[in-house]
Amino acid sequence: MLTTLNTAYSDTSAADLAWTLGREPLPALATLDLELAGATLQLRLLGASHQVLLQEEHGSCSETVACIPGSSTPLPLGVAKRVGDWEYEFAARVEHLTDSQFGARAQELLALVADHPNGLAGVFPGSPHAFTAMLAQYHEGQVQWRTWHAYPQDGQLVATRSRVGVRAPVAVAL
């Protein structure tokens, strides 16, 4: 699903993004509700990037990557944590692109996400290349999602990858 977000572009650069787990739902400009193998997933586009809410029989998980005033947790390159009965992994990278590369990559990503049944993308007014996009799937017992946050003024594209799966019990040798 592709939508135009009815708000001003509020993120100023990739360096302004922060990452948090467990944050309460924030006001969303667009949402997509999904059922993936028994898990309820809500993809949320915020005025300041994205939030994912996951609910399953093993509990719930909330991931927020956004420009949040007062946040002290910068965007990490990688995280691996136990969240209840789940193993949670997060990775992020920043791509630096020329103007022509940026335009081509933006079109490619927006087309991929807009046509995908588990995809949500929002374009900010003022620039066709200022967007946040999200894509979710269930694969090999894990709920996974990818996001892209575009900063055309700086030629930066932030890509994140997250996955949550139930922790496998450890066998104990007797």
What confidence category does residue 9 fall into, taking pLDDT thresholds of 50, 70 and 90? low
The three state secondary structure string of the chain is: CEEECCCCCCCCCHHHCEEEECCCCCCCCEEEEEEECCEEEEEEEECCEEEEEEEECCEEEEEEEECCCCCCCECCCEEEEEECCEEEEEEEEEEECCHHHHHHHHHHHHHHHHCCCCEEEEECCCCCCCEEEEEEEEECCEEEEEEEEEECCCCEEEEEEEEEEECCCCCCCC
Would you place residue 16 in the very low, low, confident or very high pLDDT band (cuts 50, 70, 90)? confident
Q: Return the pLDDT at 48.
A: 72
Binned at pLDDT 50, 70 and 90, residue 109 comes out as: very high
Lowest-pLDDT range of 6-20, 54-68, 76-90: 6-20
